[in-house]
């Protein structure tokens, strides 16, 4: 099946995201609210994670094992990352839009975050871990990277208790669209 990368990126640039339903039918979804990870002083993380960061148990890489991160994110009892969506992520990776931000412990993939980059927006699709704290360290290091690279927006799409611990907060779709339009105008590189 052929996919139109430009059309897919336009969908994300309009605030929609791809997701498969329980029957693996892929569709575009929108939301009345979006969840953002702060890229300023409002970003926080548990004190216990500070110890892990200080111990430097993990190293960080970008796209060292993109397919491993996609597989890790999809490896759940119920997942919105269907085989078709995995192919789309691979195509977006090959065309420079999809990224895996990874933590490693030696030669073992510890965890990672899968996302789409358009301008100054990082749209987080999913995250996972194989080693405890792997995805949390990835989150902290990714925020540091996005700050260094002058990204304006880290969209986590939907709130959950895990993201809330990092200072994630909801904004209205209208606020999100305004911020997204601004972010799309900023030329950033992960």
Q: What domains appear along the chain, each with residue ranges and CATH number?
A: 5-184 (3.40.630.70)
pLDDT, mean over the chain:
94
What tokens were used for 133? 């704290």
pLDDT in tens, 109-127: 999 999 999 999 999 999 9
Q: Is the pLDDT of residue 37 over 70?
A: yes
45-77 per-position pLDDT tens digit: 888 888 899 999 999 999 999 999 999 999 988
From residue 143, alpha-carbon distances to 19, 61, 179 in Å are 24, 14, 17
d(Cα 57, Cα 77) in Å, to the nearest integer?
A: 29
Q: Is 82 in contact with 24 (CB distance < 8 Å)?
A: yes
pTM of the full structure: 0.94
Q: Which residues contact 185 (CB under 8 A, 6 or more apart)?
A: 119, 120
- Asked whether the predicted pLDDT for residue 1 surpasses 80, the reply is no
> What string of DSSP letters covers 64-80?
TTHHHHHHHHH-SSS-S
């Amino acid at each position: 099946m052929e996919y139109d990368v430009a059309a897919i990126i336009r969908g994300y640039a309009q605030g929609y995201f791809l997701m498969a339903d329980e029957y693996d039918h892929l569709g575009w979804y929108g939301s009345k609210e979006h969840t953002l990870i702060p890229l300023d002083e409002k970003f926080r993380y548990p004190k216990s994670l500070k110890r892990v960061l200080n111990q430097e148990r993990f190293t960080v890489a970008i796209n060292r094992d993109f397919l491993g991160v996609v597989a890790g994110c999809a490896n759940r009892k119920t997942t919105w990352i269907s085989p078709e969506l995995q192919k789309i992520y691979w195509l977006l990776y090959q065309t420079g839009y999809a990224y895996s931000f990874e933590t490693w412990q030696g030669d073992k993939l510890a965890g990672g975050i899968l996302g789409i980059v358009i301008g100054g927006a990082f749209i987080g699709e999913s995250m996972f871990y194989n080693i405890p704290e792997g995805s949390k360290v990835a989150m902290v290091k990714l925020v540091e990277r996005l700050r260094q690279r002058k990204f304006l927006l880290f969209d986590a799409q939907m709130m959950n208790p895990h993201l809330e611990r990092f200072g994630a907060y909801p904004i209205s779709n209208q606020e999100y669209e305004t911020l997204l339009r601004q972010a799309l105008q900023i030329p950033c590189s992960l």
